Amino acid sequence: MRLRGLRYHRLRLTPPFGVRLGEGDTPRAHFHFVARGRAYLRGEEGDLSELNQGAAVLMPRDGPHALLSEPALPCRHITDFETAALCDAVDDVRSCDPDTCRSQDTLIFSGCMELDLGSLHPLVSLMPAVMRVDPQEGRQPELLPILEAMEQEVCGQRAGFAGILTRLAEVVAAAIIRSWVECGCGDANGWVEALRDPRLGGVIAALHREPGRHWTVESMAREMGVSRSVFAERFLAVTGITPLRYVTELRMRLASQWLARERLPVEDVARRLGYGSQAAFSRAFKRATGHSPGGYRAASAFQSKDY
> Whole-prediction pTM value?
0.69
Task: Report residue 189's pLDDT band, with 50, 70 and 90 as the boundaries.
Answer: low
The half-sphere exposure of 40 on its side-chain side, counting CA atoms within 13 A, is: 17
Q: State the average pLDDT over residues 170-180.
A: 89
According to DSSP, the β-strands at 106-116 and 29-36 are: antiparallel
Read off the DSSP letter of residue 134.
-
Read off the DSSP letter of residue 81.
S
Q: How far apart are CA 226 and CA 142, in angstroms?
A: 44
| pLDDT in the model for residue 238 | 81
Task: Report residue 106's pLDDT band, with 50, 70 and 90 as the boundaries.
Answer: very high
The string of pLDDT tens digits covering residues 209-245 is: 899 999 999 999 999 999 999 999 989 888 788 999 9
The string of pLDDT tens digits covering residues 148-158 is: 999 999 988 88
Determine contact, residues 257/289, Cβ cutoff 8 Å. no
Structural domains for the chain: 2-183 (2.60.120.10), 189-303 (1.10.10.60)
| pLDDT in the model for residue 281 | 95
Indicate whether 27 pLDDT > 80.
no
> 3-state DSSP call for residue 61?
coil
| pLDDT in the model for residue 122 | 63
